Amino acid sequence: MTVYKNKTEKQPVLQVVKDETKGIVETRLYLDTHTGTHVDAPGHVFPGGPGVESIEPADFFTFCRVLDLTGVPEKISRRDLLAHAIQPGDFLLLKTKNSWHENFVFDFVYLSAEAAAYLADLGVCGVGLDALGIERDQPCYPAHRALLAKKILLLEGLRLKDVPAGVYFLIVAPLKLTGVEAAPARVFLLGPGNPTGTNRTSPAGEPSA
């Protein structure tokens, strides 16, 4: 699978600890919590801060908007977002040209510090990006800090290639870890839905890795 900067240590490892010669098969999984699709918690950038257990389970089930930002060349700016009339309480999945690549792209499109500050001030509920990090090359991780300071849910490593822009019902299913700053997650979209919530059940795709 694609891992951040193609680092070997980020690759999941499956170790068979019991095989059929023991009459039963058991496998051990070694997995970096930031590998694949995952949720970030405030403890990721605020030492000693809350882990994924601090996220209310109810926050994992919500309507969301997939925004088409595939025309953004390098980083998502506040101006790029203004075109989408984002409202307080929105949960946003940002689809960029990152979605066209199966391999790790070192110059992936990311969320600029000013765009993150804008979303944090606006009071969105969550932000997801189709890259293994929401930012790169921004000293001291201002995008993470702006959003996580307000406990805005962060999803990284989304797979949105086959997901058109629109409104969906989002289901996030992270591993239940305690005192840990991130958790691998399956992320599902149901839809296309609409803002009135009358079309919640027709499956349209799964952005999960």
Between strands 182-190 and 61-68, the pairing is: unpaired
**Given 44, 84, 101, 144, the catalytic residue:** 44
Task: Give me the phi and psi of 148, to 5 degrees please.
Answer: -70, -25
**Judged by CB, which is closer to Zn ion: 25, or 149?**
149
Bridge partners of residue 171, in order along the sequence: 61, 188
- Please give the residue ranges that form the binding site for Zn ion (CB under 5 A): 34, 40, 156
Select the residue whose beta carbon is closest to Zn ion and give its number.
Answer: 34
Q: How far is the CB of 170 from Zn ion (least distance, A)?
A: 18
The distance of closest approach from Cβ of residue 39 to Zn ion in the complex, given in angstroms and rounded to an integer, is 8
Closer Cβ to Zn ion, 165 or 180, answer by number: 180
Q: Catalytic residue at 34?
A: no
Nearer to Zn ion, 152 or 167 (CB): 152
> From the CB of 71, what's the least distance to Zn ion, in Å?
25
Q: Can you tell me whether residue 202 is helix, strand or coil?
A: coil
Residue 204 CA to residue 188 CA, distance in Å, equals 9
195 torsion bin: left (phi>0), alpha (psi -120 to 50), beta (else):
alpha
Catalytic residues: 44
